[in-house]
A and B are shown apart, each in its own frame.
Chain A
Amino acid sequence: MKTRSYLALEGISVTFPTRKGPFTALGQVDLSIEKGEFVALIGHSGCGKSTLLNVISGLTKASRGVVFLDNEVIDRPGPDRAVIFQDHSLLPWLTVEENVRLAVDQTLKGSRAERRDWVRHNLELVHMTHALAKRPGELSGGMKQRVGIARAIAMSPRVLLMDEPFGALDALTRASLQDAVMEIQAQLRNTVVMITHDVDEAVLLADRVVMMTNGPAATIGEDLRVALPRPRNRIDVAETHDYIHARAEVLHFLHQRFSNPVDRAA
């Protein structure tokens, strides 16, 4: 038996039936991710990034190919692959604490007190303990996403999946959440797959930036290792050669080799 990476996607293709016949969103994606690695998936809208993430989470079934996690085949969603959704998708009728609690009750077997402490501990990591009894409707977008992050990491997932987690936030809030994610990642060393549109976000947060070609039948175009030392500070790092180089490489890929299909059509 050959040795597989911790998270291994082998020959994944996804075809959706549509009115105009089958549409191939992903064609033949192979991706290997090591334990503790932070991978950013970047590409233009509609290139199948979300589909790929959904295949890993199990929310979408691959038409062909297999996903292995720790040598087990993934075929359905489960709490070992926690998702941070773009729209945070907290349940509006539950308080902050209850939202995280729902996830903890599904994943942690232990006494009531233990589970409660674990909920609080994770909300502390995202600095949201001041809002335990608030409902999502009373929170700003950034705070909601902090709770969304707490809910996901509280599940102690084997893989943490982020679907454009900060896409709906303003630039300043986004920066502070990116810092929060880096801080948490430094402690927990999760295996993370994050979708993003933002070149700086990808280079700042990730160990690897995986660039996807335009659909249909999108696949991986380039796989760039970001060798910046951690902890990374957004201001210091921005002037280093490695950062500037990585950024330029991703920009070149997105805007020259695989420019936005909408722009080309126009």
Chain B
Amino acid sequence: MLSTANAVANIHSTPETADNEESGTVIALPPAAAVARPPEEQPVRRLPRILQAASDAAAAILPTMVVLGLLLAVWQFACVAPGSALPSPSRIWTESHDVIMHPLKGVTFHGLVPSVEDGDVGIAVHILTSLRRVAIGFGLAALGGIALGVLIGQSRLAYRALDPLFQVLRTVPPLAWLPISLAVFQQAQPSTIFLIFIAAIWPVILNTAAGVQAIPPTYRNVGKVLALNPLQYFTKIMLPATVPHMFTGLRIGVGMSWLAIVAAEMVQGGTGIGFFIWDSYNSSLLTDTIVALVWIGLVGFALDRIVGWIGRRIAHQA
């Protein structure tokens, strides 16, 4: 390495000494800075940034849009007959026009504060009711799941004791808990929240535990050599090392809880998007049901992306 450095130094000193000593024409070498400049510093001709972003976005979205258009066309063509059991897209548009165009029906704004009337409300209000339940149930599942996951990931004894139990319980479909939940809580609201909780907690527990078990032994050794106390070890090493696994569990969990809430509300009635579907089915408003399906899909997709995004943000910062 030393010899390389010397060689470089020689090259650089050559033009000056040559200039001084010889009177003949000397082709000066370009200054060192110009030679050494890395290629990425040179400007590259590109589209303006906004245009570039727009064309990237179009390239990403276009294929989906084309497929969606084709599907709608096929659907329309197949269900255009007047007696068709499944309503065609155009019939949904005309018959459920009110539901589609007025999602916030029944909400009045006093300044920025919304107040919801009783009775017939728009679909967005039902969605918000369901989302509030998910927020509580999933929040509890996230806390409990991470705590239990850390416990069984960290302690071999706890793992042996609890893992078989969790493996059996996680296969029970959320709706199967409903009768028990109703019997115990006696009320609709807490039992739906329990249902969401029980649906979401298993993937959080199991993924967190897997993450804790996957912490490389050298990180544990760093913690031991630095003599971190258990709390410091948890916040400085275990938590950041486990975040990616944890959020895999949380993402699956939020999906599960969205599945569970819709099912639970269908059985239970009252408010929420699940109730909306059940209600529209009982009123033979199949077109409303289809609109609700689209809403559920989009909200579920958004929930998944939001949790994933938070996870990535935290993993970057942690």
Contacts and interface: CB of A to CB of B under 8 A. Distances in A.
Contacts of B224: 58-59, 77
B228 A106 contact: yes
Interface string B207-225: 0000000001011011011
Contact of A82 (B225, B240, B241): B225
Contact of B226 (A58, A103, A176): A103
Contacts of A91: 219, 222, 236-237, 240-241
A155 B237 CA distance: 18
A103 B227 CA distance: 9
A172 interface: yes
A93 B221 CA distance: 17
Nearest to B216: A89
B231 interface: no
Interface string A46-87: 000000000001110000000000000000011101110101
B53 interface: no
B27 interface: no
Contacts of B227: 77-79, 106
Contact of B1 (A79, A85, A155, A172): A172
Contacts of B315: 93
Residue among B227, B228, B241, B318 having the largest count of chain A Cβ atoms under 10 Å: B227
The main secondary structure of chain B at its interface with chain A is helix
Nearest to A175: B1
A109 to B, nearest CB: 14
In the complex, which range does the number of interface residues on chain A fall in?
Answer: 20 to 34
Contacts of B237: 91
Nearest to A98: B236
Interface residues of B, number: 17
A102 B225 contact: no
A188 B210 CA distance: 43
A79 B226 contact: yes
Which of A83, A87, A91, A172 is the most central at the interface, judged by chain B CB atoms within 10 Å of its CB?
A: A91
B221 A102 contact: no
A78 B225 contact: yes
A51 B199 CA distance: 46
Contacts of A81: 225
A58 B228 CA distance: 14
Contacts of A83: 221, 225
Contact of B218 (A57, A58, A87, A175): A87
Nearest to A54: B221
B225 A57 contact: yes
Contacts of B226: 79, 102-103, 106, 155
Interface in A145-170: 155
28 contacts: A59-B224, A77-B221, A77-B225, A77-B227, A78-B225, A78-B227, A79-B225, A79-B227, A81-B225, A82-B225, A83-B221, A83-B225, A85-B218, A89-B216, A89-B222, A91-B219, A91-B240, A91-B241, A93-B240, A93-B241, A93-B315, A102-B226, A103-B226, A106-B226, A106-B227, A106-B228, A155-B226, A176-B1
A-B complex: 7 closest residue pairs judged by Cβ atoms: A89-B218, A77-B224, A93-B240, A93-B318, A106-B226, A77-B225, A83-B225
Interface of B: 1, 216, 218-219, 221-222, 224-228, 236-237, 240-241, 315, 318
Interface of A: 57-59, 77-79, 81-83, 85, 87, 89, 91, 93, 102-103, 106, 155, 172, 175-176
Given A91-B222, A93-B318, 16 more contacts: A57-B225, A77-B224, A77-B225, A79-B225, A79-B227, A85-B218, A85-B222, A87-B218, A89-B218, A91-B219, A91-B237, A93-B241, A106-B226, A106-B227, A106-B228, A172-B1
